[in-house]
Amino acid sequence: MSSEQDKTPDEASHTDSAHFAPVDPFKVGIQGCCPRCGQGKLFDGLLSLKPRCAACNLDYAFADAGDGPAVFVILIVGFIIIGSVLWMQINYAPPIWVYIVLFAPLTIILSLLSLRWCKGILIALQYRNNASEGRVSRD
């Protein structure tokens, strides 16, 4: 059995010495709350992360969602928008300006909202599963 002192600083940073009830990563991710306590805010603005949780003082330095949220947003929002455009073209065949007026704002709004939600969910899942960069063990 390894103790807290035997762990490297990276391993010890994700283990909680305080007792927090487990939170649903999808719920706190969509709400933009802390992945440990579910109370403090995760975001400072639209997509930038706060340095730490105001409620439980969790340092968000571990959080790196990378390009994952953008990939999900491109696939999901692209499917919705292109499906809607094709449906509208087949059923109504409106002029091109109708597509621009309807789907340009809809694409921007859906992308920004879902990007925030996906980023929050992926960071909450990263915390819950104790995910980090791969390390080479030099024994």
Distance CA 36, CA 83 (A): 38
Distance CA 22, CA 36 (A): 7
Q: Does residue 3 form part of some domain?
A: no
Q: Does residue 134 form part of some domain?
A: no
Position 3 scores a pLDDT of 41
Report residue 59's pLDDT band, with 50, 70 and 90 as the boundaries: very high
Q: Does residue 71 form part of some domain?
A: yes
Q: What is the mean pLDDT of the chain?
A: 86
Q: How many domains does the chain have?
A: 1
In this predicted structure, the answer to whether residue 88 has a pLDDT above a threshold of 50 is yes
In this predicted structure, the answer to whether residue 56 has a pLDDT above a threshold of 80 is yes
Q: Does residue 88 form part of some domain?
A: yes
Q: Does residue 7 form part of some domain?
A: no
* Domain containing residue 92: 25-129
Position 1 scores a pLDDT of 42
